[in-house]
Amino acid sequence: MSPAPRVRFAPSPTGHLHVGGARTALFNWLYARSQQGAFVLRIEDTDQERSTEESYAAILAGMRWLGLDWDEGPDRGGDFGPYLQSLRLDTYGEHLQQLAADGQAYKCFCSAEDLEGRAAEAKAAGGVWEGYDGKCRGLTGEEVTALEAAGKPHAWRLRTPDEGSTFWYDIILDKLEFQNEVLVDRVIVKADGFPTYQFACVVDDHLMEISHVLRGDDHVSNTPFQILIYQALGWKPPKFGHMPMILGPDKKRLSKRHGATSVQEFQGQGILPAAMLNYLSLLGWSPGGNAKEVMSAQEIIGKFSLKKVGSSAAAFDYDKLNHINSEHIKALDAAGRLALAMPLLEERGWRLDPAWLVHGADTTEAYLGRVLATLGNRFSSLVTLPEQIGFFFSDDFFVDQEAWAEHVSTSEASTLLTILADALEKGLAGDQAHAAGAFDDLVRECAEQAGVKAGRLIHPARVALTGQSRSAGIFEVMELMGLPRTIERLRRAAATA
RNA sequence: GUCCCCGUCGUCUAGUGGUUAGGACACCGCCCUUUCACGGCGGCAACACGGGUUCGAUCCCCGUCGGGGAUGCCA
């Protein structure tokens, strides 16, 4: 049995946790958890311009929301820290010295402007700029001394071989090979003394004993250069696995124009973390065959395997995410649903109105519990829930104008609703008003007496009471709303014909 | 331009050198029902194209096309 794997998620703190990053983090986490390995969080803040505290906090918050817990990280330490690259500058410096000592790294005095200028020239001459022309590669000791004496700042580049090839066996993509000829001498330490991503990533992955580097396939072309760094340092590279990217619904790069792209936005849209995690797990991976797709994190861990991770890019499907989300909501028990719905009431200041005198539910929570029970599986979205239950808490509720016009604003409806209101006033009292069945009987009686089918009365009543053409069972609604309020709304509706 | 990756229903995917190419989302229809929803049942719909290899290719090879990525002193 091979030793427990050590994997990592290494975001740069330059924005929110994007779904692509979240999926990368998720697959690393799934692999670690399914193999009893370690999941490390490392922050790659080597870009002094773009790294921010807010992004750092947002990324950690996003991961916590999703439930991706890490075993080692900047906030909780570990045996291989620090886990913030800006705190590891000495380490990178030492390794750079090692490379400089044996001539594998050299100083490059070309400024960004120099490089741009030469690239433009090459292009103008009809040629192609391959990335770096190796100008400082052959600088003599005297030339270097002179440039330094002149105060010219310099970066460090890795001297890469011109012949041969670099290859590796990717866990997901199988054998990948690059001709060294196309690999350029890229910068490993910038003029500001900070390492580039390429260098810091290699040094840290090695020192932190990362066994598997699982990342997006946008890193495929960085890998050969990184392998060259491992070789220059005399180290054995870890195993690499490049996962396919997540694209927008139109197969183009996923961007804000497609809708939400950061996990924080999905949170704001009523997506449950368990649902988000579930949906993301299905992008590029599958439990196989006819296995059910709606799963808890534990179930996913139990079935996860890197071997089953696919290699083609996936389009993000908001519809399916919503479906998975509704399945997760429906799978919740009463307490779980209540916990989800209560905050929505609080946001709106909705409370049980004592005047409604609802039997057996004297607190807002108990009342909401009964409302949700009546709703049953109709409660499948946090976005629509307020509309679905608002009329239970306020007289100023959402009204579907189209439904109102069709079912309520007619003379027939007006007549029938008045008949019903009268009958409720005379016929129902006391304990009877606490049984949906009593409302049921009375409504049908009224319809019969008026000579119409029950549905002719039920439809207008539903819209009159709830403002919508769809709701929980209307007799339960009457019972939960209370007799006085029911009669009041029926009369108000009858008057609008 | 160059290098690299990818290509099964509209979407996520399962799958095999010989299958009626399976499931899920979406969509459509029917049933249930006081409507909607839920649920149940059914339907539509795919192996990108062209060459090979083979008795036989969705599957193996080559090419084309399409999509994506890289080409930074960003990560």
Q: What is the pLDDT of residues A237-252, one digit of tens each?
A: 999 999 999 999 998 8
Q: For residue A324, is pLDDT > 70?
A: yes
Q: For residue A319, which nucleotide's C1' is closest to its Cα?
A: B25
pLDDT in tens, A266-295: 999 999 999 999 999 999 999 988 899 999
Name the closest residue (CA) to the C1' of nucleotide B37. A378
SS3 A247: strand
Nearest residue by alpha-carbon distance to C1' of B5: A217
The H or E element that residue A36 is part of is: none
The pLDDT value recorded for residue A456 is 87
The DSSP annotation for A89-112 comes to: HHHHHHHHHHHHHTTSEEEE---H
The pLDDT, as a whole number, for residue A358 is: 64
ipTM rounded to 2 decimals:
0.95
Residue nearest to nucleotide B15 (CA to C1'): A289
Q: List bases in chain B with any atom under 7 Å of a protein Cβ.
A: 1-8, 10-15, 22-26, 34-39, 67-75
Considering all nucleic acid strands, name the nucleotide whose C1' atom is nearest to the C-alpha of residue A317: B11
**Catalytic option among A256, A308, A320, A453:** A256
For residue A174, which nucleotide's C1' is closest to its Cα? Answer: B5
Residue A218 (CA) to nucleotide B5 (C1'), in angstroms, measures 9
What's the CA A275/C1' B48 distance, rounded, in angstroms? Answer: 33
Q: Which residue is nearest to nucleotide B1 (CA to C1')?
A: A128
Closest CA to B38 C1' — which residue?
A: A377
pLDDT of residue A430 exceeding 60: no
Protein CA A487 to sugar C1' B74 (Å): 66
Which two three-digit tokens encode residue A261?
């792209």
CA–C1' A319–B38 (A): 18
Q: What is the pLDDT of residue A217?
A: 95
Q: Which residues pair with A399 in a beta bridge?
A: none
Phi, psi (rounded to 5 degrees) for A466:
-110, -15
Whether A256 sits among the annotated catalytic residues: the reply is yes
Nearest to A33 by CA among A9, A60, A6: A6
pLDDT at residue A13, as a whole number: 96
Q: Please report, rounded to a whole number, the percentage of residues in chain A having pLDDT higher than 90.
A: 67
Taken in order of first residue, the domains within chain A and their CATH numbers are: 1-73+244-331 (3.40.50.620), 88-243 (3.40.50.620), 334-393 (no CATH), 401-496 (1.10.10.350)
The C1' atom of B50 and the CA atom of A381 lie apart, in whole Å, by 49
Q: Which nucleotide is nearest to A109 (CA to C1')?
A: B73
- Residues A168, A231: Cα–Cα separation, whole Å: 13
Name the protein residue, with chain letter, whose CA is nearest the C1' of B74: A47
At residue A429 the predicted structure's pLDDT band, cuts being 50, 70 and 90, is low
The model's pLDDT over A86-141, given as tens digits with 9 standing for 90+, comes to: 999 999 999 999 999 999 999 999 888 888 888 888 777 776 777 788 888 988 88
Q: What is the pLDDT of residues A470-484, one digit of tens each?
A: 898 899 899 888 888
Instruction: Please count the CA atoms within 13 angstroms of the CA of A143 that sit on its side-chain side.
Output: 11
pLDDT tens digits, one per residue of A177-200: 999 998 999 999 999 999 999 999
Phi, psi of A24 (to 5 degrees): -60, -45
Residue A436: nearest nucleotide (C-alpha to C1'): B34
Q: Write down the pLDDT at residue A1.
A: 56
Task: Name the token pair of A447.
Answer: 């319809």
In chain A, pLDDT over 70 holds for what percent of residues? 97
CA of A123 to C1' of B50 (A): 36
Q: What is the mean pLDDT of chain A?
A: 91
Residue A431 pLDDT > 60:
no
- A248: nearest nucleotide, CA–C1' criterion: B11
What is the CA A14 to C1' B62 distance in angstroms? Answer: 44
**For A175, which DSSP code?**
E
